[in-house]
A and B are shown apart, each in its own frame.
Chain A
C-alpha cells in the first residue's frame, strides 16, 4: 500500500512516501524550490517521493494531509471574533490565502497529483498534533510510550499528551490556543530581533551568553504556570492574536526597552532575555514531562513539535531521568507532520501492525531524500568543465580527513539528503574541531551569519563518551550535553568578558564545537546509518587522535540546505570553502574555472 503524507500552507511544506509501513522517501519542498521554509504546495517534493517509490498512475492508495483545515479556519475566525475591532491587518493578510488556497485543499491535492501524473484513491485529514505524535511514536523503538507534542499551534491544540501502544495512538490531554509554549518562545524570538519560525535556534544559541535575570518577571507577568506544566499566557503582552506583531508595548516595559531591530548589534539585554526564556521553557517542558509520566505511567517518552527541536531543553529532560529513555523525531517541525500523517494512515486508519525492538528506530538515520550516483555527478562535472578527482575506496575518507587536519573547510555532499532541519553528514560543511579560528571562519566567511552562533560536533558513536557527558547515542543532533570537564580550559576568573571576546575565547581542546557554556549539540555517527561519514571521522581520528569534527549544514544564511550537486557546487564557489566532495569526486577551489555568478546572489535569500 502506497501512502503519501503532505504538510503545506504554513511553513516547511513537505511530502513523505510510506510503502507498506516503510518510510521510502521524505523531503521538504524548500530543498527543491530553493525558498527557505517554503510553505507552498509541495509539488516537487511529491514528484520526488513518487519517483523514488516508483509510483505510477493508479498505484497511490491514499494521501493524508497533516491537519484539518476547516477546524483551523474555525479557530482563526473565533480569534477575530474575540479581538474585533482589532485584527484587521492580520485578517487582510490571512484571508486571501485562505480563500485562494487553504479552503480548497482536496482540490489542490488532486490538481497537484494530476501534475505528477497520478491520482489518489482516498484523501484523509489527520489533526495537526496527532500527526506530530504519530511522527515520533511510530518510528520510535518503543512498543508503548507516552507522547508529548509542543509547538506553536495546530487547529486548536498547542501542546498535547498522548499514549502510544503498538499501532494505536490515543490523544489524552491538550492545551489550546492562544496559550502556547511555541508561540511564547516565538514571541521572544521576535522581540529579540530574530525571525519567527526561523530564528528560534539563534535565541537558544544566544542564551548561554546571558544571565537569566528576567525569569521572575516572566513568571509574574507573562504566564501563570501550574505544577503540571499547564499554563495560560497573559495575552495583554502578546500581539499575535490581533496584529502582525508578536508582542505588545507592555513587553517593552517588562524588558526595559523596545524590541531589537533585526540585524542591529546584540546587547546584553537580548542575551539576558534569551537566557531567561530558555530557563522558563526548560521548566515548562520538565513539568509537562513529569505530568505526562504521572498521567500515563509509561517508561518511555516520545517528543515532537517545534519545541522538541530545543536541544538544550531536551538535554535537561534527559538528565532529569523522568523517563528511562526518550525519543525525539528529527523532523519535529511541521515537515515531520507529513511523516506522521502517512504513518498514522498505515497504522491507525488501515489498522496495520507495528513492530519495535527497543533498540533502533525506523527513520534510517533520517537519510530519506534524493541521492545522486557517481556516474551522474561525473557526467555533470564533465559537462561543465569543473575540475575534479575521483577517489575510490579507503583513500576517499583518508584524503578528506587529511584536508580537514590541514584546517581546510570542506563541503561534503554524499548519499541521501537528510529529512528535517539538521544536516547529518550528507549535505554538510565539515572542518577540524580543534581549530581555534574555525568558528569565526565558518560563521563569517562561509555561512555569512552571526559570529556568536555555535557549531555542532559529529563524533564517532563509540567515542562520544570520551568527549562529552553523554551516555547514549544522539544520531540526530537533538541533545545538548557538556564537554568533558577534563577537556575544558578554566574560564576567566569570573570577570565579565565582552561579547566578542567571549565568542573567541579558547574553551576546550575542541574549541570550535564548545559553546560558551561548555556545552555542545552532539551528533553521534554510526556505520549502520552513514558509513561514508563514519569513515571520514574514523580516518580523521586515525590521523589526529580526535574522533570529533565540526558539522554544519551545507548552505549560506537564508538559503535552504543544498539538494543537488549543482546546488552544492554553486554554494561551494560562492563561499570560502576550500574543497568540495561530490560523491566520490573531490574538487579543490583553487583548480576550478572562473564561476560566472550573479554578483547580487545574496539578495536571492531572505535573511533568517
Chain B
C-alpha cells in the first residue's frame, strides 16, 4: 500500500496523524506506575479502615481498587467508562462545592464593596452620561519597559 511507504513530514505528523490507527490516536492507557500507585493508595486506605474496625468499607475499598486496577491493565474500555463516571462525579462535586463557597463570597464581598463605592460616591465604570463633556477619550498611562512586559498587570 502506498500509505505504508509514505513517511509524513514533521509538520504534518504534528497535526494530522492519519497514518496512526484510530485506536492509538485516542487517550493513552495509564502507565503501570500510575496504576500501581493508585492501587497502593487505595489499599493503604483499606488497611487503615480495616485497622480501625470498619471491615465492610475496607473490603469495599480493596475490591473496588483491585477491580479498577485490573480494568486499567486488561480492559481499557471498562477503565475508560470508570474514568468517565469518576470525572462526571468529581465535576458534580466540584460544582456543588463551587456554589457553596462562592455564593456567600459573592454577596458578602461584593455587597460590602458596593456599599463602600456608594459611600465614596465612586463609579469606576463611569456610567453617568455627561452632556457638557466634550470628549470621553482618556489618556493612556501605558508604560513600556521590558520589566512591565514581564508582569501580568
Give the residues in chain B near A122, CB-CB below 8 Å.
Answer: 150
- Residues 94-121 of A contacting B (Cβ, < 8 Å): 95-96, 105-106
The interface size bin for chain A is 35 or more
Contacting pair A376 B137 (CB below 8 A): no
Closest CB pairs A-B (n = 3): A383-B3, A84-B110, A379-B6
Task: Report the nearest B residue to A155, measured CB to CB.
Answer: B153
In this assembly, does B31 line the interface, its C-beta being within 8 Å of a C-beta of chain A?
A: no
Task: Report the nearest B residue to A95, measured CB to CB.
Answer: B102
Task: Report the nearest A residue to B103, measured CB to CB.
Answer: A88
Q: Give the total of B residues in contact with A, Cβ under 8 Å.
A: 54
Which of B15, B106, B135, B139 is within 8 Å of A88, CB to CB?
A: B106
Contacting pair B102 A78 (CB below 8 A): no
Which of B102, B111, B142, B150 is within 8 Å of A127, CB to CB?
A: B142
Measured CA separation A160–B136 after assembly (Å): 12
In this assembly, does A79 line the interface, its C-beta being within 8 Å of a C-beta of chain B?
A: yes
Measured CA separation A173–B140 after assembly (Å): 5
Give the residues in chain A near B9, CB-CB below 8 Å.
Answer: 373, 376
| Chain A interface (Cβ < 8 Å from any Cβ of B) | 32, 44, 47-48, 50-52, 54, 64, 68-71, 74, 78-85, 87-88, 91-92, 95-96, 105-106, 122-127, 130, 157, 160-161, 170-179, 224, 226-228, 230-232, 234-235, 241, 291, 345, 348-349, 370, 372-373, 375-376, 378-380, 382-383, 563-566
Which of B131, B137, B139 is within 8 Å of A228, CB to CB?
A: B137
- Residues 1-43 of B contacting A (Cβ, < 8 Å): 1-3, 5-6, 8-16, 18-19
Measured CA separation A416–B150 after assembly (Å): 33
Measured CA separation A232–B129 after assembly (Å): 6
Contacting pair A372 B98 (CB below 8 A): no
Contact with A along B123-146 (1 / 0, CB 8 A): 111111111011111111010101
In this assembly, does B87 line the interface, its C-beta being within 8 Å of a C-beta of chain A?
A: no
Contacting pair B149 A174 (CB below 8 A): no
Contacting pair A70 B126 (CB below 8 A): no
In this assembly, does B90 line the interface, its C-beta being within 8 Å of a C-beta of chain A?
A: no
Task: Report the nearest B residue to A79, measured CB to CB.
Answer: B125
Which of A82, A106, A382 is within 8 Å of B117, CB to CB?
A: A82
Which of B15, B134, B138 is within 8 Å of A176, CB to CB?
A: B138
Q: Given A70-B153, A230-B137, A564-B15, does the pair A178, B111 have CB atoms closer than 8 Å?
A: no
Task: Report the nearest A residue to B99, measured CB to CB.
Answer: A92
Contacting pair A228 B127 (CB below 8 A): no
Give the residues in chain B near A82, CB-CB below 8 Å.
Answer: 114, 117, 123-125, 127
Contacts across chains A and B counted by CB atoms under 8 Å: 178
Can you list 12 residue pairs at the A/B interface with Cβ under 8 Å? A68-B151, A70-B152, A83-B110, A91-B110, A124-B149, A175-B137, A179-B126, A226-B134, A232-B136, A370-B16, A380-B3, A564-B15
Measured CA separation A380–B140 after assembly (Å): 54
Q: Given A82-B125, A226-B133, A232-B129, does the pair A105, B113 have CB atoms closer than 8 Å?
A: no
In this assembly, does B51 line the interface, its C-beta being within 8 Å of a C-beta of chain A?
A: no
Contacting pair A370 B2 (CB below 8 A): no
Q: Given A171-B142, A175-B137, does the pair A85, B15 have CB atoms closer than 8 Å?
A: no
Q: Report which residue of B1, B138, B140 has the largest number of chain A beta carbons within 10 angstroms of its beta carbon.
A: B140
Give the residues in chain A near B133, CB-CB below 8 Å.
Answer: 226
Contacting pair B113 A47 (CB below 8 A): no
Contacting pair B151 A228 (CB below 8 A): no
Give the residues in chain B near A126, CB-CB below 8 Å.
Answer: 149
In this assembly, does B52 line the interface, its C-beta being within 8 Å of a C-beta of chain A?
A: no
| Nearest CB on B from A395, distance (A) | 23
Which of B3, B116, B125, B144 is within 8 Å of A348, CB to CB?
A: B144
Give the residues in chain A near B18, CB-CB below 8 Å.
Answer: 380, 383, 564, 566
Contacting pair B2 A379 (CB below 8 A): yes
Q: Report which residue of B19, B107, B144 has the largest number of chain A beta carbons within 10 angstroms of its beta carbon.
A: B144
